[in-house]
Structures are given as C-alpha cells and as structure tokens.
Amino acid sequence: MDPQATWDELLDAWRKRDWQRMQEASESLLNWLKRGGFPPEVFPTSGMGSEWNQKVVQSACTYMVDLARRVMADPNGIPAGVPFTLSCFECSEEGPDTYDEAICEGWTEIEFRPECCAENFLGACPEHSE
C-alpha cells in the first residue's frame, strides 16, 4: 500500500463528495496504521514528523468513515447529527430549518456540502428550481 497515494485519494474523494471512496480510503489507512505502517505526510512541507502525521490521519480517517456512513445511510444524503442549514447556490437565500420543510417549500437539488463555511447544505430555492 502507498499511504501517501491513499491519503491523496481520500482528499480527492472529500472534494468530490464521493462518500464510498472516502470510506474505503479511510478504512484502508486506518488498517495500515493499525498494522504498524507509516503515515502519509498530511502537509508535506510542514516537517511535523511521523507521530503528528499519524495522529492527524487517524483522527481524520475516523471522522470520515463515520461521516460517510451517516451520509450513505440516509436515502437523501442527509447525515444524522449534522445541523440543517441551507442556502440557495444561485442567490444565497436561506432555507428553512429542516429538510422536510425545504422539500415542502419547493427546494430541490439539496446536497450536503461539508466544505462550505457558513452552510452545511446547498440547494436550489423555489425560484431557482425550474
């Protein structure tokens, strides 16, 4: 196994919200580390060292496995335990407080976007759903 390539794959899966690939890469890295494998460099130019990299990778991978499972467990991709904060990706209009309310009001294309700074979900408001 190439832990650096797997870490890079994991980051790419995060950016693309490919939950299955994220879970698989995270589990692979966690198993690799459990068997005594060396960690990937999280920030290659930082020089933080192996112990720091191992702790960061273990923490990130544990989080990502859990998050991917919660997203994939819900038919709408709404992970349990994540606050529902919604904005329109076209006009930034804020949405209602729950997924069900958003659907009833005519919101579409609702997607979990963990990389966003202010909102956890983006979608198309009723005006931009056409």
Residue 80 falls inside a structural domain: no
Residue 79 falls inside a structural domain: no
Closest C-alpha to 54, from 36, 67, 72, 69: 36
Q: Are residues 106 and 64 in the same domain?
A: no
Q: Over its length of 130 residues, how does the chain's per-residue pLDDT go in tens digits?
A: 999 999 999 999 999 999 999 999 999 999 999 999 999 999 877 778 889 999 999 999 999 999 999 999 999 999 989 999 999 999 999 999 999 999 999 999 999 998 888 889 999 999 998 7
Q: Supply the pLDDT for residue 55.
A: 96
Q: Are residues 69 and 90 in the same domain?
A: no
User: How far apart are alpha carbons 25 and 64 in whole angstroms?
Assistant: 9
Report the number of distinct structural domains present in the chain. 2
Query: Residue 112: which domain range?
Result: 86-128
Q: Are residues 53 and 24 in the same domain?
A: yes
Q: Supply the pLDDT for residue 84.
A: 94
Q: Supply the pLDDT for residue 43.
A: 81
Q: Are residues 69 and 7 in the same domain?
A: yes
Residue 11 falls inside a structural domain: yes
Q: Are residues 39 and 18 in the same domain?
A: yes
Residue 81 falls inside a structural domain: no
